[in-house]
Chains A and B, each alone.
Chain A
């Protein structure tokens, strides 16, 4: 038993309907520990604290066993797109200078 990466993914997928989701198992074998990147239209118009509360609520069952949860990104699809584009343009700039 225990919380798996797949379990966390399926709870988040069913409750927050994310357009992008990345769950990284950061436990290193010492118990359930995860880092999350999630993009969902349901975050629209919500402050970061509210978004994190939504993620915590979606994982209420899992949280009983999870030792550490790090929400690295909780973005709306628009913010995600912007961030991707700015990363892309940065890496292009780096390529050009190297």
Chain B
């Protein structure tokens, strides 16, 4: 079947490239760091906070173009979406697994100290 995949413009892609590389840790989420508006987003904020790393958040509920574009940019259908060092790391389940196993802390240490 032919599907039209055009939610993301070249301009938006360039902007997203900049956003995810301008900070070591970026979380696209529902709500804000202070007021997450979904349990999954809240969980990832808690994890990052407990690891005591600086991170940037963007509220996708305030920008539907961003929200739809990101799904294609990351090839990931849901939020939150965690980016580390310019690369898509995963959603909530992956963040939780990596947190439990210690891999997330390891990666963040490596990223933030480089």
Contact = CB atoms under 8 A, between A and B. Distances in A.
Contacts, number: 28
Interface size class of B (residues with CB under 8 A): 10 to 19
Interface SS majority for chain A: helix
Contacts of B93: 52, 70-72
Contact of B91 (A52, A60, A63, A72): A52
Interface SS majority for chain B: mixed
B86 interface: no
A49 B94 contact: yes
The 3 closest A-B pairs by CB, nearest first: A63-B77, A71-B93, A49-B90
Interface of B: 40, 75-78, 88-94, 97-98
Interface of A: 48-49, 52-53, 56, 60, 63, 68-72
